Structure 1
């Protein structure tokens, strides 16, 4: 058994491969693809399922894969992470494709910068990795709404992940664009993509039996010719299969392996077996501990999977970070949103450092390869910068005059239906709702996910899933009632993904009477949001700031900035921005105590640091060489 069996790719062939792929991409963009001779377009055979084996070009092939999500890793570090995957003895990269990030507004696509999927796939090919693409449209991935764009929810009748016309029409337009980019990167066209997944864990959802055949046809009709796969956990394997598509499984324990092996045999007979997701750790939620999985347990389970004749993909090999507001959530008995770090206790840490799992797995895969593995790349250095002391400040209330005119409406409007972003609504961030009241009493309403309530500028508490009522104290005359609502992350897995509208949902009531005449501010905190602030808008930090507020400071870096981790001790809850880059949320309830700051996002000298803090500011922002992801708990 060899990790390299069936791979006939010396260095010269790799160089020619990259040249051919790049030529295809250029020709496609110039609409000359049809001019390429058929003999140049096609290899003889792609990855195939023959009996119990995968076969690539007539040779038995074992998939030893690892998941890295390009959208969770700074582009400048893609090569480092992929080289470390290769040096671990793996031969295949797997990645999801997040629809919500690539089509943030209907019909407007973004595949630039950190979202350059084609560049990521070509880099994998250059390094000598095959690619399994997982394009969705739904991907789960602990990302907001499972990777589906929030503007889909503007349709009051929307039925996500079904053959509902409003959904399939949107998928068709997205796939038209996405597949035009990835089809030329398939194996049979000279590229590294050897397989493509059909949706993701649909058996756990299974709202429409016609849906998976629709997705399969949508891929094939747009030129996907490689092996198609499904991927399901033990809850959905019996319902997630589709005719003509190879089923694979997701699991974490040897006990699940034994159970799902019999399920696979029953579902599809003698076919190649693959664990598409072997969970090397787990994600974390705010208020919970940091989950870890012992490295010896990981090695034993991986060994058992291979011994049972399975190919394998390590999910995650490298988790990365939920930069910005992209994290998802779960909502069963209780709503819980995911933290900013997507470290996942993976084989590589959030910052790409080696772990005990890495070296144990490298030794294991080395024993299977039959040839020496490439040396692991050196570690990227970390540093602790001088503490950042915010010197300027502006309260949210003073900042409102810079963020644009409010939206006026008789009744509150949820985020997705706000008339912003050229009619696409608001996807991420905060929305501020204002109205005028003349009496005290009980305020009630559905807030998603967390609304801080103010009388004028004085905070009186919160409305959320647990607290749907709050007492407004006795007031005199006309008073401004304000609710600052945060989208903490739309549910990414489960039955209720259609009900993921954020903001105020329906009417807001005072003593049972619906309040009217609202002013609403969309506070998405994108880069252009801060461009409206000039230096003249900021004041010196007072002894007693008014919250919520923005704080401005400077981080000084040397000529070659290094990675670091920011610790906001004394701060309570908010978001950090470095040179316009949203590092993500912090919250003193943990588990994570530090935010990862990639050195490639810093520049020599002065770096702008902006903190949006909801409740309480600390004196400084500290910088550390090592992360602190909080109190640990072993996964059961």
Structure 2
């Protein structure tokens, strides 16, 4: 019995070594081969989690799971557009409280790698840049252009107020801070990179700074004198060779992004990776003494309108899904996957002598399907237009002072005009109506911007409902990110003038007028509302397969976007956003085809179902 007590005490002590260590003040430095914590080698085994993609109520739970898998460090981006949604209006509260996220990491014995870039990529809207930067048509993000630098500097001063005191050299747990992000994929201006470094220093980030780039991008993206971490390379010999080359022939060696999974894009097959191959690669990297950051350990969900999009000179516009499950070791709902256990076994092999892994926490709530929710109210968007903005020419979202959501563009076709209707530079998804009848859907992904009109009578009403499907977050088109109808609408070679524009940012679902039912099915955008009662709460998933394309809200929380084309067919509903008693669901569907009567949930995600 005494032996068992002693053993339990030893295990408890071993599991709390990191927590105890973080009660003291530390030094953190770059050695020739290793990171040095208090002068001794530290191999960072890090996992990326973005606090914005996880309900605040679950931060600690997710961090505990990271520790249980064997991680000792958490990596996270800081998204500028979340913290400064309007210029000069800063928000570091609620789910934006990044400092609290860092403090919870410390309480749980975890170090932090902070990536406030402010460019993030991350499959996040505009790569993290705020949409209001685009109101200035002359501003060029990610450049030395003064208006951009001034906005960037002002923001980073606020970030510094939140985080600078939490660096390890000030008694906190932030080991390193990343400047820029994969800059070599975009340009090669060392003066711009040096300007980034000065802004970070002025903001109070006086500890270790580093850059990260893909192998071929390192020459353009690294800043001499700072550690150049590598992304997307897991061959130990190549990692060491690359970092040696750009860091005066020495380490330490850090893979800033290693991918045990991948993201999904609308209309494309579900992505993933092979867990056995991932485990083998991790084993090789750790055996070589290289520090690593898994991108992602836990992806979570890209809620609201924050999904980004990819586009290159060879690939068309491709928006990403709201689910950021990423086929990560910890899934979207925070549950460990088979990959979690395989990677945990590898990490256990490489623990320092005398250390053991903590037990895997048991999830305190279950995931289940709720009773079917009956639709109790329907609001037709065309019956809830409000006051328009009027202009001879259609205006972009930015010119209308709107960042996200949808805009309805309306004009009158004075003559009986048939022929080709073309929207120049459509961004990104449009539904075309004549006299309230849906004629066509135009999708930027597919290069669609035109429809043939026929049988149009004089004084017909032309409506074009345009959705921002996500601003580009990576590549050469980052600066070309205005939304809506960004140039003109042409019919038979003549520009259409005299527009009324109705804004639907969908910040909330209040203010819409609902009726019990609209009777027969119509092909116009609608909002469905339903309520359900709970005696207890748990995680669940909305099953969106009966719907077309839109956004769903539960108790006022925007769960993200759905689209029947897939591969994502469900929306994760965290228990933290449900409550005992009455709950409300609102679904905005812009591809309404049927008179939907009910809304259903299921107890598991569907992330791999494609439809034409």
**TM-score interval, normalised by the smaller of the two chains:** over 0.9
Question: Are residues 563 and 541 of structure 1, via their aligned partners in 2, closer, same or farther at CA, if it must alter by over 3 Å?
Answer: farther
1:174-323 to 2 correspondences below 5 Å: 174-206=155-187, 208-251=189-232, 254=235, 258-268=237-247, 269-323=249-303
Contact 2:189 2:220 in 1 (8 A): no
Q: Tell me how far 1:566 sits from its aligned partner.
A: 1.1
Aligned-partner SS, 1:606: strand
Question: Structure 1 residue 388 and structure 2 residue 373: aligned?
Answer: yes
SS at match of 1:292: coil
Q: 1:557-636 to 2 correspondence within 5 Å?
A: 557-558=534-535, 560-615=536-591, 616-617=593-594, 618-631=596-609
Distance 1:98 1:266 in 2: 31
Gaps of 5+ in 2: 1-12
* Alpha carbons 1:565, 1:625 under 8 Å: kept: yes
Q: Give distance in 1, aligned partners of 2:559 and 2:518.
A: 23
1:342 aligns with 2:324: yes
Larger deviation: 343-352 or 508-517?
Answer: 508-517
CA displacement 1:325-380 (0-9 Å, x = unmatched): 10000012211100110000001000000111111121222222231221111024
**Within 5 Å, which residues of 2 pair with 1:91-110?**
91-110=72-91
CA contact (8 A) 1:441 1:472 kept: yes
The answer to whether the 8 Å contact 2:157/2:202 transfers is: no
| Alpha-carbon shift at residue 538 of structure 1 (Å) | 2.8
- Matched-pair contact (CA < 8 Å) for 2:283–2:347: no
1:540-551 mapped onto 2 (5 Å cutoff): 540-551=517-528
Please report how far the alpha carbon of residue 601 of structure 1 lies from its aligned counterpart in structure 2 after TM superposition: 0.5
Gapped runs of 5+ residues in structure 1?
18-42, 419-424
Q: Distance in 2 between matches of 1:386 and 1:183?
A: 48
1:497-512 pair list within 5 angstroms: 497-512=478-493
Check if 1:462 corresponds to 2:446: no
State which of 114, 121, 124 in structure 2 corresponds to 1:140: 121
Whole-angstrom distance in 1 between the partners of 2:332 and 2:214: 25
Is the CA contact (8 Å cut-off) linking 1:443 and 1:469 kept in structure 2?
Answer: yes
> Structure 1's 244 and 519: CA in aligned 2 closer, same or farther, altered over 3 A?
same
Deviation at 1:207, TM superposition (A): 5.1
What is the distance in 2 between the residues matched to 1:270 and 1:331? 36
Choose which of 428, 432, 454 in structure 1 pairs with 2:404: 428
1:518 aligns with 2:499: yes
Q: Contact 1:382 / 1:562 at 8 angstroms: preserved in 2?
A: yes
Q: Which residue of 1 aligns with 2:4?
A: none
C-alpha separation between the residues in 1 aligned to 2:216 and 2:565?
A: 32
In structure 2, what is the Cα distance between the partners aligned to 1:307 and 1:372? 17
Q: Distance in 2 between matches of 1:593 and 1:67?
A: 25
The CA deviation string for residues 597-629 of structure 1, in whole angstroms up to 9 with x for no partner, is 101101112211111111224443221111111
Using the TM superposition, give the Cα deviation of residue 556 of structure 1 relative to its aligned residue in structure 2, in angstroms.
2.6
> What is the SS of the residue equivalent to 1:183?
helix
Report Cα offsets for 1:526-547 as digits up to 9, x if no partner.
Answer: 02xx22236xx43324232451
Candidates 356, 381, 399, aligned match of 1:372? 356
Match of residue 102 from structure 2: 121
Alpha-carbon distance, 1:267 to partner: 1.4
Residue in 1 that maps onto 2:533 = 556
Distance (whole Å) between structure 2 residues aligned to residue 545 and residue 428 of structure 1: 26
1:8: how far off? 6.6
In structure 2, the residue matched to 1:171 is 152
Corresponding residue for residue 431 of structure 2: 452
Cα deviation 1:111-170 (Å, max 9, x = unaligned) = 111111111011001001011100011011100110001111112222211111111011
Is the 8 Å Cα contact of residues 188 and 220 (structure 2) preserved in structure 1? no
- Please list every run of at least 4 consecutive aligned residues from structure 1 whose deviation after the TM superposition is greater than 6 angstroms: none
Q: Give the SS at the match of 1:495.
A: coil
CA distance in 1, matches of 2:362, 2:102: 23
1:414, 1:504 within 8 Å by CA — same for their partners in 2?
A: yes
Provide the TM-score with structure 1 as the length reference: 0.89
What is the rounded CA distance, in whole Å, between the counterparts of 1:433 and 1:288 in structure 2? 30
2:461 matched residue in structure 1: 480
- Report the TM-score, using the length of structure 2 for normalisation: 0.92
Q: How many residues align?
A: 584
Quote the Cα distance in structure 1 between the aligned partners of 2:604 and 2:384.
Answer: 35
Matched residues in 1 for 2:563 and 2:394: separation?
A: 28
Find the partner of 2:343 among 361, 365, 368.
361
Q: Is the 8 A contact 1:485 1:503 kept in 2?
A: yes
Name the CA shift for 1:9/1:253 in 2 (closer, same or farther; >3 Å). Answer: closer
Q: CA deviation at 1:573?
A: 1.2
CA contact (8 A) 1:569 1:621 kept: no
| Partners of 2:488 and 2:496 within 8 A in 1 | yes
- Name 2:3's counterpart in structure 1: none
Post-superposition Cα deviations, 1:197-255, rounded to whole Å, max 9, x if no partner, equal 0110001111533111111111112221221111111231121110221011111654x
Structure 2 SS opposite 1:506 = coil
1:580 and 1:545 map into 2 onto residues whose CA distance is 26
In the alignment, the residues of structure 2 paired with residue 436 and residue 259 of structure 1 have an alpha-carbon distance, to the nearest angstrom, of 63
Contact kept? 2:113, 2:174, Cα under 8 Å: yes
| Separation in 2, partners of 1:469, 1:60 | 61
**Map of 2:69 onto structure 1:** 88
| Structure 2 residue aligned with 1:34 | none
Give RMSD over aligned pairs. 1.8
Per-residue deviation, 1:9 = 5.2
